């Protein structure tokens, strides 16, 4: 039987929002694993895909056969339970995104809605799966994610006149009256009333006509340019006025007069430092703005878009599908923990070596980030009853399963079959500065417990 360590060749997508040329981590990583690819300096490269999704399936670099073909031949690579549950496909799609400018205001449908959308409009909704996703920052990242606390939205309705015009005086007043005194209530009745008021105000905004949007956008941008740190009356506690004004100006330079200029007042503005992460459930609204990130998601390419995009917009479905949950961004950020199924051996444990598990509350995937910061540092991943994909984002070293040992370095991607013990060794020392790291890998994996969910 063939060794279950397989080096992959993974495809890259070029979208307008991607980073250009060698600035793109997605392009650099693709160049490291593709045989006939050279980076074009003027071309944007947005996403590196690692998985079995038919839109851009990964291949065995040696044979050029797809992972799907290999799984059809040998279900043991996935494990019998996972092969049966996920129809011989990887349950997750692993990505690197390199974001130069805003990508669409969007949400991913839940399983039931995905099936309905795919059946009625397969062109715009190419599969029938849901798409909960997790984001881990590789470089500093910022984005819009989830609805803000209600008091912050009310603050903007009072202090950004152009926003109030688009929502409308009647709708704005109804929102303010509904939430008054119960912005943070945990009573089910209050929360449902708050969500209905939020949905009503947000839907009114999203259905703004072009003329009203054009006029309001000009007013908004002028205010941002002239008011500086006094913009939006200095902002709510989570964002100061200058930060918000700069964001308006920046987004308007990318998508002039777009409805997204106003959507940002409803959504949390989040920044992630390297290694920080957040999880987005199906039907959660978001828009990524800049940075390089690792993404892991259920294997789907379904996106319902409504702004910051030249692509198909589906405002009606977006405004109907959202959960309208509202909370500080801290509630969407994830707290990684040490991963007990990896053994780090000396000299791996320098002061900043790490091994962190990002484990979202869904069965399809988890991700572990490992940093080895001394030559000879070694990480031994215990066998799991499920498949893995390992990406190196920094440094160089070796990766081995049994007697098979191969080089691993920045951009290299490996598939590891179920029940295989994996050993990664570092050939580099981290620089002598606080926070520096040597060999960094991300491992996405799926392991089922009693056929129901991850261990």
Query: pLDDT tens-digit profile of 345-365?
Result: 755 555 557 889 999 988 889
The answer to whether position 249 is within a domain reads yes
- Active-site residue identified among 85, 148, 305, 374: 305
Residue 435: the pLDDT is: 65
Task: Assess whether pLDDT exceeds 70 at residue 56.
Answer: yes
Look up 305 and say whether it is catalytic. yes
The last residue of one of the domains, among 217, 240, 264, is 264
pLDDT (tens digit per residue) in 377-419: 899 999 999 999 999 999 999 999 999 999 999 999 999 999 9
The answer to whether position 205 is within a domain reads yes
Shared domain check, 159 and 260: yes
The answer to whether position 171 is within a domain reads yes
pLDDT (tens digit per residue) in 226-257: 999 999 999 888 888 999 999 999 999 999 99
The answer to whether position 76 is within a domain reads no
Q: Which residue has the higher pLDDT, 175 or 311?
A: 175
Q: What percent of the chain has pLDDT over 90?
A: 69
DSSP state, residue 66: B
Residue ranges with strand state E in 378-450: 378-381, 388-394, 396-401, 404-409, 413-416, 422-426, 439-445, 448-449
Contact 290, 144 (CB under 8 A): no
Q: What CATH number did the domain enclosing 211 receive?
A: 1.10.441.10
SS3 175: helix
Q: Within 13 Å, how many C-alpha atoms sit on residue 158's CB side?
A: 13
The answer to whether position 96 is within a domain reads no
Q: Which residue has the higher pLDDT, 432 or 172?
A: 172
Q: First CA to last CA across the chain, in angstroms?
A: 27
The answer to whether position 60 is within a domain reads no
Q: What CATH number did the domain enclosing 398 receive?
A: 2.60.120.10
How does residue 111 score in pLDDT terms, banded at 50, 70 and 90?
A: confident
For 151, the token pair is 């008091």
The answer to whether position 236 is within a domain reads yes
Buried b (16+ CB within 10 A) or exposed e, 166-189: bbeeebbebbbebbeeeeeeeeee
Residue 87: the pLDDT is: 87
Q: What percent of the chain has pLDDT over 70?
A: 92
Domain count, the chain: 2
Shared domain check, 358 and 449: yes
Q: Which residues contact 231 (CB under 8 A, 6 or more apart)?
A: 223, 224, 241, 242, 244, 245, 248
Say if residue 298 is exposed, middle or buried (CB neighbours under 10 Å; 0-12, 13-18, 19+): buried
pTM summary value: 0.90
Residue 455: the pLDDT is: 45
The last residue of one of the domains, among 247, 264, 281, is 264
- The whole domain housing 431 covers 337-454
Rounded alpha-carbon distances, angstroms, from residue 267 to 174, 179, 187, 261, 325: 19, 17, 23, 11, 11
DSSP state, residue 262: H
Q: What is the mean pLDDT of residues 266-292?
A: 91
Residue 300: the pLDDT is: 64
Residue 433: the pLDDT is: 63
Q: What is the mean pLDDT of residues 189-204?
A: 96
The last residue of one of the domains, among 264, 296, 319, is 264
Contact 46, 73 (CB under 8 A): no
| CA–CA separation, 199 and 167 (whole Å) | 12
CA geometry: angle 351, 353, 354, nearest 5 deg: 125
How does residue 451 score in pLDDT terms, banded at 50, 70 and 90?
A: very low
């Amino acid at each position: 039987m063939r060794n279950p360590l397989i080096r992959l060749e993974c495809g890259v997508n070029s979208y307008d929002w991607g980073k250009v040329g060698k600035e793109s981590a997605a392009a650099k990583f693709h160049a490291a694993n593709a045989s006939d690819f050279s980076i074009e300096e003027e071309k944007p490269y947005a996403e590196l895909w690692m998985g079995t999704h038919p839109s851009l399936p990964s291949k065995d670099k040696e044979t050029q056969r797809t992972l799907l073909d290999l799984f059809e031949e040998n279900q043991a690579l996935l494990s019998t339970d996972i092969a049966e549950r996920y129809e011989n496909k990887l349950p997750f799609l692993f990505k690197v995104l390199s974001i130069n400018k805003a990508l669409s205001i969007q949400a991913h449908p839940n399983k039931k809605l995905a099936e309905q959308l795919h059946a009625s409009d397969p062109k715009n909704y190419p599969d029938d799966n849901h798409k909960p996703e997790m984001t881990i920052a590789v470089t500093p990242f910022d984005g819009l994610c989830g609805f803000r606390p209600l008091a912050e939205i009310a603050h903007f309705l009072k202090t950004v006149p152009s926003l109030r015009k688009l929502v409308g005086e009647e709708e704005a007043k109804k929102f303010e009256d509904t939430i008054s005194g119960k912005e943070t209530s945990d009573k089910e009745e209050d929360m449902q009333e708050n969500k209905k008021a939020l949905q009503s105000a947000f839907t009114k905004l999203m259905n703004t006509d072009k003329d009203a949007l054009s006029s309001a956008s000009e007013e908004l941008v002028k205010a941002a340019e002239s008011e500086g740190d006094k913009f939006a009356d200095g902002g709510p506690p989570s964002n100061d006025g200058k930060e918000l004004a700069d964001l308006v100006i920046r987004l308007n330079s990318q998508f002039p007069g777009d409805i997204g200029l106003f959507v940002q007042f409803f959504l949390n503005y989040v920044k992630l430092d390297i290694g920080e992460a957040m999880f987005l459930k199906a039907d959660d609204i978001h828009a990524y703005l800049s940075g390089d990130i690792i993404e892991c998601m259920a294997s789907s390419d379904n996106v319902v878009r409504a702004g910051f995009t030249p692509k198909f917009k589906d405002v009606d479905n977006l405004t109907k599908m959202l959960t309208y949950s509202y909370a500080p961004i801290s509630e969407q950020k994830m707290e990684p923990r040490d991963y007990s199924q990896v053994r780090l051996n000396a000299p791996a444990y320098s002061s900043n070596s790490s091994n962190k598990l990002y484990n979202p509350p869904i069965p399809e995937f988890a991700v572990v980030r490992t940093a080895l910061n001394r030559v000879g540092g070694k990480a031994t991943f215990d066998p799991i009853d499920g498949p893995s994909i390992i990406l190196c984002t920094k440094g160089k070293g070796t990766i081995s399963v049994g007697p098979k040992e191969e080089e691993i370095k920045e951009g290299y991607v490996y598939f590891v079959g179920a029940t295989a013990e994996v050993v990664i060794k570092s050939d580099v020392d981290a620089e002598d500065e606080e926070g520096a790291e040597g060999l960094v890998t991300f491992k996405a994996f799926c392991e089922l417990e009693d056929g129901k969910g991850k261990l």
